[in-house]
């Protein structure tokens, strides 16, 4: 086996140049190495997270994102607390052990309202992940005290110039501040990046991976950039599936015991994308369990998603996973 891969498997460290070398390699050995590290560190169980996209209203204007505030051509929705809890109940009854609440940056969901929702959800026996963007330390602290277990906030890119270009009126420093706050408050903290943003280099992807390692992130989600027709990046090419897979696999080598989802964006680019990801380092799957309105949660076009609202979803997913020697994990899936 390639010396760099041997080093990664034995020490879980790599230099930037070594990461660049792997990103430029053909990938097949890398995927196998990541799959074996995944098997040893976290086993064959796949953790399912039930995703509820509860609002597509967003005050930010991230240039790549279909639900950016400046997009006037989508219809906006916001679920009521009652409807959110209905989706949670259905998810719990189907067997989900983790609920993920995701939204645009919607100030309607104040600290108080979020705490009320978190308290209600935590009455069910589930782990709760939030993915609602940048908030103050005070808000993050209140959500944590109300019972939220995990938080997802991708850095998107660690290339500061590119970050500032992609995120008008936002600040890279504040994004980092958020991630540090989340870590210090004891959240299992997830971050990640987009692959194939216009102007993004291989070197900057290597730096993203080193950032994940330095933060000691508990969860990493990566996916290819997919151009959305109602955004300033509509004419840019898609990110590469293979490159996204490589970033994910190297992340597994450097952070063996973390949770890594096979992301929906990967499935959108390749019909078998999520299974390939599960065989290249991923151990988490995040089906959408939102009721009707989330068809408008179009962060990118043709966002694929299995319909997880039927009650035999667990059996179906278990059957699918059994075909590749895996199974649905029964526990809440915290980092070991």
With CB under 6 A as the contact rule, which of the stretches 119-127, 151-159, 182-190, 325-333 interacts with ligand SAH? 151-159
With CB under 6 A as the contact rule, which of the stretches 26-34, 44-52, 223-231, 252-260 interacts with ligand SAH? 223-231
- Least distance CB 325 / ligand SAH (angstroms): 29
Q: For residue 181, state whether it binds ligand SAH (rule: CB under 6 A).
A: no
Q: Which is nearer to ligand SAH, 37 or 231 (CB)?
A: 231
Considering only 102, 157, 288, 290, the residue that binds ligand SAH (CB under 6 A) is 102
Considering only 64, 172, 212, 285, the residue that binds ligand SAH (CB under 6 A) is 64
Q: Is 8 exposed, middle or buried (CB count within 10 Å of its CB: 0-12, 13-18, 19+)?
A: buried
Give the integer Cα–Cα distance in Å for 177 and 279: 34
How many CB atoms sit inside 10 A of residue 43's CB?
Answer: 13
Of 185, 197, 279, 287, the closest CA to residue 237 belongs to 197
Q: Residue 96 in contact with residue 49, Cβ under 8 Å?
A: yes
Considering only 87, 105, 218, 298, the residue that binds ligand SAH (CB under 6 A) is 105
DSSP 306: -
| Site size with ligand SAH, rule: CB under 6 A | 18
> Is 94 in a helix, a strand, or coil?
helix
Considering only 4, 33, 34, 65, the residue that binds ligand SAH (CB under 6 A) is 65
Q: For residue 131, state whether it binds ligand SAH (rule: CB under 6 A).
A: yes
- Least distance CB 216 / ligand SAH (angstroms): 19
Q: For residue 133, state whether it binds ligand SAH (rule: CB under 6 A).
A: yes
Considering only 87, 149, 156, 218, the residue that binds ligand SAH (CB under 6 A) is 156
How many CB atoms sit inside 10 A of residue 283's CB?
Answer: 25
Q: Is 191 exposed, middle or buried (CB count within 10 Å of its CB: 0-12, 13-18, 19+)?
A: buried
Q: Which is nearer to ligand SAH, 14 or 172 (CB)?
A: 172
Considering only 91, 223, 261, 273, the residue that binds ligand SAH (CB under 6 A) is 223
Considering only 33, 166, 197, 226, the residue that binds ligand SAH (CB under 6 A) is 226
Considering only 225, 248, 262, 298, the residue that binds ligand SAH (CB under 6 A) is 225
Q: Which is nearer to ligand SAH, 9 or 211 (CB)?
A: 211
In the chain, which ranges are continuous DSSP H helix? Answer: 3-11, 16-24, 28-42, 81-94, 111-121, 137-146, 160-166, 172-184, 202-215, 241-254, 264-269, 273-278, 313-322
Q: For residue 127, state whether it binds ligand SAH (rule: CB under 6 A).
A: no
> In the chain, helix, strand, coil percent, each to 5?
45, 15, 45
Of 103, 128, 133, 132, the closest CA to residue 118 belongs to 128
Give the integer Cα–Cα distance in Å for 236 and 63: 11
Q: Which is nearer to ligand SAH, 140 or 225 (CB)?
A: 225
Q: What is the DSSP string of 113-136?
A: HHHHHHHHHTTSS-EEEEE-----
Q: For residue 50, state whether it binds ligand SAH (rule: CB under 6 A).
A: no
Interface residues with ligand SAH (CB under 6 A)? 64-65, 102, 104-105, 131, 133, 153-154, 156, 194, 223, 225-226, 228, 265, 299-300
């Amino acid at each position: 086996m390639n010396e760099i891969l041997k080093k990664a498997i034995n020490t879980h460290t790599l230099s930037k140049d070594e990461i660049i070398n792997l990103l430029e390699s053909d990938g097949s050995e890398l995927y196998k190495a990541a799959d074996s590290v995944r098997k040893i560190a976290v086993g064959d169980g796949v953790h399912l997270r039930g995703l509820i996209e509860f609002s597509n209203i967003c005050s930010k204007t991230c240039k790549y994102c279909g639900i950016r505030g400046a997009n006037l051509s989508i219809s906006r929705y916001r679920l009521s607390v009652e409807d959110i809890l209905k989706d949670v109940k259905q998810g719990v009854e189907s067997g989900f052990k983790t609920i993920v609440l995701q939204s645009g940056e919607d100030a309607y969901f104040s600290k108080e309202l979020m705490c009320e929702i978190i308290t209600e959800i935590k009455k069910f026996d589930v782990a709760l992940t939030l993915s609602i963007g940048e908030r103050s330390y005070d808000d993050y602290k209140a959500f944590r005290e109300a019972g939220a277990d995990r938080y997802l906030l991708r850095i998107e890119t660690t290339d500061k110039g590119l970050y500032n270009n992609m995120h008008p009126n936002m600040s890279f420093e504040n994004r980092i501040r958020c991630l540090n706050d989340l870590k210090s408050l004891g959240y299992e903290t997830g971050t990640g990046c987009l692959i194939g943003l216009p102007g993004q280099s291989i070197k900057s992807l290597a730096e993203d991976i080193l950032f994940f390692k330095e933060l000691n992130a508990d969860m990493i989600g990566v996916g290819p950039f997919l151009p959305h027709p109602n955004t300033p990046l509509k004419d840019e090419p898609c990110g590469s599936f293979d490159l996204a897979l490589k970033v994910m696999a190297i992340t597994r080598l450097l952070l063996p015991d973390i949770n890594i989802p096979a992301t929906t964006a990967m499935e959108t680019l390749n019909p078998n994308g999520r299974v390939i990801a599960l065989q290249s380092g991923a151990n988490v799957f995040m089906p959408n369990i939102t009721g009707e309105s989330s068809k408008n949660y179009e962060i990118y076009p043709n966002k694929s998603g299995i319909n997880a609202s039927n009650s035999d979803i667990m059996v179906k997913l278990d059957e699918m996973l059994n075909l590749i020697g895996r199974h649905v994990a029964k526990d809440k899936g915290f980092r070991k």
